[in-house]
Amino acid sequence: MVAGPEPPVPSNGPSPDSPTRDMREEFARISARSGRDPEAERAFVENKIEMIRTHPTLSEAEKTAAIAELEEKLKGNS
C-alpha cells in the first residue's frame, strides 16, 4: 500500500527513483502548433455514440442512459 494522492509508478517502467520531468509546457507548445480539426473532433464523438449503439451486451435502457451520459458530458464541447 502506498499513501498519498499520487499513484506509485508502474512496476515495469523506469525505476521508482527515476526523476519525473514536467514537460507540460513543451507539450502544450507543440500541441498549439497542431491546430484544431473540427471534423476529427466530430468523428470522435460520433464514434463513441456508435460504440454504445452497437455494444453487444448493453440493454436498450443502458444504451439510452449511456448516450444521455455522453451527451451531458459533451454539452460544452468547444
Partner 1 sequence: MPDATSAVELSIPIPTTPGREMPTEVADERESLARIARETPRDPRAEEAFIASKARLAQTQPRLDRAEREQALAQLTERIGRERLEAARAKEKDQPVPGGVGYGPFYNSAFKSAFAQGTSLYFDIVCPTSPGGNVNTWLYLTGMNRAGRGIEAFVSYYAQTQPHFKVFDWARTDQWQTDIPFGNLGSYLGTTSAHGTSYQTLGVWNSTYQISSTQWRNEALLWNRAAGRWDLFYRYDYAGTLAQQTGGWIGSWGPIVETFQSPYVNTNRFGALNTMLISRNSSGAWGSWQFLSAANSYIRTDNVGFFVVFLDPNYAFVVDS
Binding site for partner 1 (CB under 8 A): 1-14, 18-24, 26-28, 30-31, 34, 36, 40-41, 43-44, 46-48, 50-56, 58, 62, 65-66, 69-70, 73-78
Per-residue DSSP letter, 53 = H
Q: Quote the Cα angle for 45-48-54, to 5°.
A: 145
3-state secondary structure of 6: coil
C-alpha cell at 47: 464514434
Minimum distance between the CB of residue 59 and partner 1, rounded to whole angstroms? 12
Minimum distance between the CB of residue 13 and partner 1, rounded to whole angstroms? 5
Report the residue number, 5 or 60, with the smaller CB distance to partner 1: 5
